[in-house]
Amino acid sequence: MNDIEVAFLFKHAEAVVLLSLCEGFGIPPLEGFKYGKPALVSNTSSLPEVVGNAGIQVNPLDIDAIAKGFSMVLDQRDDLISHTKEQIHKFDEHQACETWMNSLHILFEK
pLDDT tens by residue, 7-16:
999 999 999 9
In this prediction, residue 18 carries a pLDDT of: 96
The greatest distance separating any two alpha carbons of the chain, rounded to the nearest whole angstrom, comes to 51
Check: CATH 3.40.50.300 for 3-103? no
Q: Taking CA 92 as the corner, what is the angle to CA 3 and CA 107, rounded to the nearest 5 degrees?
A: 125
Angstrom distances, CA of residue 103 to CA of 31, 80, 86, 88, 90: 28, 33, 23, 22, 17
Q: Residue 52, Cα to own-chain centre: how many angstroms?
A: 8
* Ranges of each domain in the chain: 3-103
pLDDT tens profile 47-61? 999 999 999 999 999
Over the chain, what is the mean pLDDT? 92
- Tell me the pTM: 0.83
C-alpha–C-alpha distance, residues 57 and 69, integer Å: 7
Contacts 24+ apart (CB under 8 A), 74-79: 74/14, 74/15, 76/38, 77/14, 77/15, 77/38
The predicted-structure confidence for 22-48, as pLDDT tens digits, reads as follows 888 889 999 999 999 999 999 999 999
Q: Convert 14-50 into a string of H (helix), E (strand) and C (coil).
A: CCEEECCCCCCCCHHHHHHHHCCCCEEEECCCCHHHH
State what percent of residues in the chain have pLDDT above 90: 72
